[in-house]
Amino acid sequence: MIIDDQVYDVIIIGTGAGGGTLARKLAPTGKKILILERGELTYGESSELTDTDVFKKEQFHAPEPWFDKAGEPFHPQTKYGVGGNTKLWYGVLMRMRERDFEAVPHQDGLSPEWGLKYADFEPYYTEAEKLYNVHGRSGEDPTEPPHSEDYPQPPVQNEPFLQPVFDTLSKQGLHPSHLPIGLGDHGRTDAEDTGITPAAESENVTLRTSAEVVWLHTNPSGREVKAVQAKVSGQDYLFMGHIVVVACGAINSAALLLRSLNDKHPNGLANGSGQVGRNLMKQLLSVVVQLTSDANSGMFPRTIGINDFYWGTDQFPYPMGHIQNSGGIFQDVLFSEAPPILSGLSRFFPNFGLRQLATHSIGWWIQTEDLPNPDNRVYYLNGRLRVEYTANNVEAHDRLVYKWFDVMRSVESAQPSMFTRGATHPRSDMPMSVVAHQCGTCRFGEDPENSVLDLNCRAHEVDNLYVVDSSFFPANTSVSPALTVMANALRVGDHLIDRLGG
């Protein structure tokens, strides 16, 4: 065991949307900061992928197996590296709706109220949008919450072949909007280029890669984390810090706390409530495809969002969810998990190869909120990370998919020259291995009996331990959690700056 001879003011574990944003926020304070990342530093991101990259799905998976509720192994689609999963995303950065912070009835149960409201996050949403250079347009989406400032950049325009679809949706009474997208000089902004790399340029910030944190050690009372144990390029190290921030992703953060048990925390660190690892949520995600008459590049950005059914319809008065175009299939990493959708098309169009199908298609992602369930949980047993998850709110998701089938047929009728009339619309539901939009395993709240963190995302039971990834969510939404994670990291950053003395 090697003991680092420095004592850090802050140790941040993980470099994704939460850890990367927090590092950028704290770097100007001059405090001594250590950032630990189990993966490597790569400067490329998913907008630079090629079609062959996307369908080599193994490169987007963790090297170690996780295990499902039946004990069967699977390799999750998750990224270990500086920037975390933001290196694979499409950069869509949407705010939660105002009602998402309230208690909302769903067909399958209640989405619980948050301890903070939209107004508490709004200034930090604005700060995050500026930091990540979000391109967007306010006022198009009737469900969008109020902004204190407009988006810092104008929206990304629809590809020419998509604009008629956008216009037709509007003419049919829907409210398509330009998706808010983080975009810089070299493609989509992410937690590496916007967070970690600028932060690491400060002399007070140290970044260590190939550093897998395996244990958090407390003092004898169990009230403080005194040392972080990590394997750095295979060698065991101990790092000392005054404040420790965990940001490994909702599943891995819970696993780290669970395996860091000791006499004072026999069920896992900060787990006196028994809530660590419980209430895992990860949205219901499906993709459906329209076949087009004309070819496209297969490598265009996501630009269209539809929230007309977010809160339901007259026929179904419960929330249904969010829809957005997939962007080019050849750049969409999630398509590496859904090759059957193109196989389904090939059955109906046997003369089309994979490339032809991908370049004659428009994909649509359909996202529905799942509800917290204490039996959907993360374990760490006998050296294995086990994820038990059973989907809920399924009928709401299915209704949204079927509703979108109707909309697609209506668009095709209005634009017969663009689409093959009567063509099938294959659907693919994302499997367990897709852990995109995971959240909820260390939820925050005011009552230590039913939450892990307080409203500043500090562990109730450990005075210097914070969690700033999506683990803190008490409820999910139908939009990506990324911007809320970033905004929360900036909010917690202000709290830590006060605690550190400026």
DSSP secondary structure, 414-450, as one string: H-TTTB-TT----EEE--TTB-TT-B-TT-B-S-TTT
Residue 343, pLDDT above cutoff 80: no
231-240 per-position pLDDT tens digit:
999 899 999 9
The DSSP bridge partners found for residue 147 are none
Q: Which of 467, 484, 477 lies closest to 125, judged by CA?
A: 484
Q: What are phi and psi of 11, to 5 degrees?
A: -115, 125
DSSP at 263: S
Structural domains of the chain in order of their starting residue, each with its CATH number: 2-500 (3.50.50.60)
Number of H helices and number of E strands within the chain? 10, 22
Side-chain-side CA neighbours of residue 253 (13 Å)? 36
380-410 per-position pLDDT tens digit:
888 899 999 999 999 999 999 999 999 999 9
Q: Which of 371, 379, 377, 370 lies closest to 278, judged by CA?
A: 377
Q: What is the mean pLDDT of the chain?
A: 91
> Cα separation of 132 and 200, whole Å?
17
Tokens of residue 263, six digits: 């006499």
> Cα separation of 488 and 366, whole Å?
25
The DSSP bridge partners found for residue 164 are none
Tokens of residue 223, six digits: 């009230």
Residue 347, pLDDT above cutoff 70: no
Tokens of residue 286, six digits: 């499906």
pLDDT > 70: what percent of the chain? Answer: 89
103-158 per-position pLDDT tens digit:
999 999 999 999 999 999 999 999 999 999 999 999 999 999 999 999 999 999 99
Tokens of residue 211, six digits: 């550093």
> Cα separation of 418 and 162, whole Å?
10
Residue 350: predicted pLDDT: 57
420-469 per-position pLDDT tens digit:
766 778 888 988 888 999 999 999 999 999 999 999 999 999 999 999 99
Provide the pLDDT confidence category of residue 301 given band limits of 50, 70 and 90: confident
